[in-house]
Structure 1
Amino acid sequence: MNEQELNIALTNKYMELNSLFTQFFRENSRGPIKFENRNRGQGQILNIIRNHGTITQKDLVNQLDMRPQSASEMIRKLEKKEYITREKSEADKRVMNIHLTSRGKIAAQQSDDFRPIVLEALTHEEKEQFDHIMNKLIAELEPQVRHKPRSRRGRDH
């Protein structure tokens, strides 16, 4: 298989894996087996804040794949649940910094116990290799996606 054919095959396999992961999470987030999907909604927000420690509301919204209005609504809900606090930056009063509360840290850590069954097929070494490869791909792709304005449904630009 030449380089171009291999690139196409790998891309197709990745897209299939992504689709299967999405279906797996969707099917397993309902019913008797319930888990918080850290990669969506409020779980995603808690995870991002936990990884940053402190993050501005603008930076948080930029990392989420949703409209700013939807993100702001989720942020308000998390604040109401006392999972996060928002406070104005000392350096720039127009900037809102977001932090996890102790209650929010507990909620974010609860999902750490989640282990997708599919990853049990990999050895610890293979998981580390997979993690390394995903980090390389994310580092390559993220600057190309994050810094370009995205068109959003329902937004006028």
Structure 2
Amino acid sequence: MDNREIFEELTTLARQPAIWFVARNLYGQQASQRPNNSRRLLRVLAETDNDLTAGAIADILAIRPASVTQIIKKLENNAYIQRVKDESDARIVRVRITSEGRKQLQVLDNKQTDFQTELFDIFDDTEREQFGKSLHRLNEHVMSDEYLNNMRSKMDKHLQHHFDHFVDATRIQKLRKNQKSYLKRMQEHQLRSFFDRDDHEKF
């Protein structure tokens, strides 16, 4: 299979209506391709042993505090989370995932798992591993500064302007950075809460 055939297979796969429709609904992505922050918030609360403030959530998810407030209200209305007062300072409000919220997250996870299993069931373990590594390598290459700059250099100024607007390399770099720092931010807030708890216990 030559490069042209591989590219045609990739673009055909990306346009498959069944995959696009199901992925859009299961992963909560709209036409704008923005992540489902409601689900991400539930995931954050489920993964930490600490109740988090809205400010901490905004920091972990790298979104605006105003957006966090809207998401909290929506999830609270569905009984997926609850607001609780800080045990040491009643002025501080923290957010906690409820049992209903954990059930909803599990339902979403199960649906995703079923979808992924059906999609990749044609591969054995070795083929799946190699396919995943190849796709990851390709994505890293396509998002690299070297590749983007090389593509851009082959365009005239008019196309370069549209390319910059469409690709928005700054946003891509920011997204990549946010993905890598997500765990670090989670650990920082867990550690901070741990020390806060120690201080409260001393008093």
Aligned partners of 1:88 and 1:26: how far apart in 2?
Answer: 42
Contact 2:85 2:93 in 1 (8 A): yes
Aligned partners of 2:27 and 2:49: how far apart in 1?
Answer: 20
Contact 1:53 1:100 in 2 (8 A): no
In the alignment, structure 1 residue 103 sits paired with structure 2 residue 100: yes
> Where do 5+ consecutive residues of structure 1 fail to align?
1-19, 131-137, 147-157
**Matched AA of 2:47:** N
Question: What is the percent sequence identity of the aligned residues?
Answer: 22
CA change 1:118–1:60 in 2 (3 A) is farther
**Matched AA of 2:64:** R
Aligned partners of 1:118 and 1:94: how far apart in 2?
Answer: 49
Alignment of 1:6-155 (within 5 A): 27-30=21-24, 34-37=25-28, 40-57=36-53, 58-113=55-110, 114-115=112-113, 116=116, 123=125, 126=129, 141-142=180-181
CA change 1:99–1:26 in 2 (3 A) is farther
Deviations 1:100-135 (A, max 9, x none): 1121111111122113366655739949xx8xxxxx
Aligned partners of 1:25 and 1:52: how far apart in 2?
Answer: 32
Normalising by structure 2, we get a TM-score of 0.43
* Alignment partner, residue 196 of structure 2: none
Larger helix proportion, structure 1 or 2? 2
Which structure has the larger Rg over C-alpha atoms? 2
Deviations 1:62-111 (A, max 9, x none): 11132110111111111111110111111122322211112111111112
Give 3-state SS (helix, strand or coil) of 1:87's partner. strand
Higher mean C-alpha deviation, range 83-92 or range 94-103: 94-103
Normalising by structure 1, we get a TM-score of 0.54
Contact 2:52 2:94 in 1 (8 A): yes
**Matched AA of 2:109:** D
**Matched AA of 2:68:** A
Contact 1:35 1:111 in 2 (8 A): yes
Q: CA RMSD in A?
A: 4.0
